[in-house]
């Protein structure tokens, strides 16, 4: 193709059509089998998916729920109730605290608050964008009951070091929403995201590594008691109809979504390989572009690139320049959570977490979806090179 023809192809930040078109017949059949059965609420596909995910991750239990946000919230609510807390947080000095990164999607912090617990924000590592044993450890207090490392952009946080920095009694909840399929070498074994913590939250939001036709989420854990309580929490706090051991909610994984996810699961590894190929090509093509820093992969980490996030000088101008050429980008995230208006009462101030605050002005996520392919990666990288040469 000529340069002109290539430049005319717009490159969206993500495009779900190609993946869908390739599997449309399979997915239609999966949906059709649910509609034929009319078993919409906790139909057999939900349990099948739970078992498939549990087996893949090597955990005892997987509990489907309505979204990744709810996966976090249900675990947090269970912990909160064991600390005598119920309902959204009302700021007071002795509210139990949960350490979370200041640089993540809002859901991590919102779930803590909605469970009645106090978010204790921490800074992140500027290379991996993740909270570390050091940044989390620095925020642990006598009131800390849990830490939530987030596997941001598809790369696992250093879970084993974080575990080592925490008192054994503290609950470790992995926010694996962006990292389904990621792994990390711990000692001599490869640990998948969602296996190492006391529990983990996964999201199947359509643009995550494994995406449903809407909202869906899952909790993984090896804790029998917790799994049992979560299965009740998602159906109003009881196993038997009209007998409620505690106050739960309605947060079931929809059977139609489970059927879609079951059909997609066998393709996950291929999609992750494709994301990684796209990332490797960006790494190569952008290596000598001085004003751009490509993502850093930690030693022993198998990154899944749910986002390919660079740090760019003159980010705003670059982003506008790419948009003019039909290239979509995203800013995840433009503001750190400790400075969000809704958390004013927690008393944070600019300067509290300098790395998180600085990165909010530098990060830019490039198109990386599995079907993107070499030609479009070259087009995006070429446009970035030209921007900085001009």
Ligand X SMILES: *Cc1c(COP(=O)(O)O)cnc(C)c1O
Q: Which of 193, 196, 187, 191 is nearest to 166 (CA)?
A: 196
> Residue 302 or 332: which CB sits closer to ligand X?
332
Q: Which stretch binds ligand X (CB under 6 A): 47-55, 105-113, 157-165, 230-238?
A: 105-113
Which residue's C-beta sits nearest to ligand X?
68
Interaction between residue 14 and ligand X (CB under 6 A) = no
Task: Note whether 152 and 129 are within 8 A (CB).
Answer: yes
Rounded Cα distance, 157 and 148, in Å: 10
Length of the chain, in residues: 390
Rounded Cα distance, 20 and 213, in Å: 10
Number of H helices, E strands in the chain: 13, 13
Q: Which stretch binds ligand X (CB under 6 A): 61-69, 262-270, 320-328, 358-366?
A: 61-69
Using CA of residue 140, residue 67, residue 213, residue 53, what is the dihedral sign?
Answer: positive
Interaction between residue 150 and ligand X (CB under 6 A) = yes
**Dihedrals phi, psi of 333, to nearest 5 degrees:** -135, 145
Interaction between residue 105 and ligand X (CB under 6 A) = yes
Interaction between residue 200 and ligand X (CB under 6 A) = no
Residue count, binding to ligand X (CB under 6 A):
15
SS3 235: strand
Strands (E) across 36-106 are located at 61-65, 97-101
Q: For ligand X, which residue of 74, 103, 108, 182 counts as binding (CB under 6 A)? A: 108
Q: What angle do CA 63, 68, 70 make, to 5 degrees?
A: 75
Q: Which stretch binds ligand X (CB under 6 A): 62-70, 117-125, 126-134, 224-232?
A: 62-70
Q: For ligand X, which residue of 76, 107, 199, 312 counts as binding (CB under 6 A)? A: 107
Beta 363-366 vs 308-312: how paired, if at all? antiparallel
Q: Tokens 């139909």 appear where?
A: 43
> Residue 205 or 282: which CB sits closer to ligand X?
205
Interaction between residue 45 and ligand X (CB under 6 A) = no
Shortest distance in whole angstroms from residue 9 CB to ligand X: 28
Interaction between residue 130 and ligand X (CB under 6 A) = no
Q: Which stretch binds ligand X (CB under 6 A): 86-94, 103-111, 166-174, 268-276?
A: 103-111
By CB under 6 A, name the binding residues for ligand X. 67-69, 104-105, 107-108, 150, 175, 177-178, 203, 205, 215, 217
């Amino acid at each position: 193709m000529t340069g002109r023809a290539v430049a005319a192809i717009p490159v969206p930040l993500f495009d779900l059509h190609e993946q869908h078109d390739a599997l449309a017949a399979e997915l239609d059949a999966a949906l059709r089998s649910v509609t034929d059965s009319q078993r919409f609420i906790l139909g057999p596909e939900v349990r099948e998916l739970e078992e498939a995910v549990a087996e893949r991750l090597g955990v005892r239990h997987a509990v489907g729920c309505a979204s990744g946000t709810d996966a976090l919230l249900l675990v947090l609510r269970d912990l909160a109730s064991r600390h005598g807390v119920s309902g959204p947080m009302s700021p007071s000095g002795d509210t139990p605290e949960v350490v979370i990164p200041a640089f993540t999607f809002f859901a991590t912090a919102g779930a803590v608050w909605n469970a009645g617990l106090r978010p204790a924000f921490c800074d992140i590592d500027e290379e991996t964008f993740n909270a570390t044993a050091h940044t989390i450890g620095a925020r642990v207090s006598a009131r800390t009951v849990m830490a939530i490392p987030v596997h941001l952009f598809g790369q696992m946080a250093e879970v084993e070091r974080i575990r080592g920095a925490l008192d054994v009694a503290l609950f470790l909840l992995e926010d694996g929403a962006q990292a389904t399929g990621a792994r990390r070498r711990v000692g001599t074994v490869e640990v998948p995201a969602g296996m190492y913590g006391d529990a983990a939250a996964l999201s199947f939001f359509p643009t995550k590594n494994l995406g449903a036709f809407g909202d869906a989420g899952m909790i993984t854990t090896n804790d029998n008691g917790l799994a049992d309580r979560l299965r009740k929490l998602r159906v109003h706090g009881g196993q038997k109809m009209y007998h409620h051991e505690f106050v739960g909610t309605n947060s079931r994984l929809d059977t139609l979504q489970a059927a879609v996810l079951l059909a997609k699961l066998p393709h996950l590894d291929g999609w992750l390989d494709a994301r990684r190929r796209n990332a490797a090509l960006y790494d190569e093509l952008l290596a000598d572009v001085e004003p751009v820093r490509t993502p850093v992969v930690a030693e022993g980490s198998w990154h899944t690139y749910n986002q390919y996030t660079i740090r760019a000088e003159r980010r705003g101008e670059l982003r506008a320049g790419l948009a003019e050429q039909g290239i979509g980008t995203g800013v995840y995230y433009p503001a750190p959570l400790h400075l969000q208006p809704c958390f004013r009462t927690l008393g944070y101030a600019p300067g509290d977490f300098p790395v998180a605050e600085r990165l909010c002005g530098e990060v830019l996520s490039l198109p990386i979806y599995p079907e993107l392919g070499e030609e479009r990666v070259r087009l995006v990288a070429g446009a970035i090179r030209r921007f900085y040469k001009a």
